[in-house]
Structure 1
């Protein structure tokens, strides 16, 4: 089931489009709002933690 992006997600996405740095996140570090904002900010970036076997595994 897909979820609807939050207001914070939208704000993060808008900040990225406006050329602001990730340090422009106005929410308290560690809060769900901060996480949602950062998720929106990085939504157009490729996934960093892609599971794939290391050399010699699987």
Structure 2
């Protein structure tokens, strides 16, 4: 389970993903809690899309 300390930074990561930025555009120092929160925000969108998508062969 991921622990997010800063919701603001999590939202920054999520917004960066939506804007088409790269994961490597993370502005926080590697290994810091801020970096982890940003990455979690960036990657959570992707995971939610995979879960929310229809199963193969499912009619829309």
TM-score (norm 1): 0.68
TM-score (norm 2): 0.66
**Root-mean-square deviation (Å):** 2.2
Change in 2 beyond 3 A, CA 1:20/1:34: same
- Give the aligned length: 45
Is there any run of 5+ residues in structure 2 with no aligned partner, and where?
49-60
Match of 2:31 in 1: 30
Q: Secondary structure at the match of 1:29?
A: coil
Larger radius of gyration: 1
Q: Residues of 2 paired with 1:4 and 1:29: CA distance?
A: 16
* Greater helix share, structure number: 2
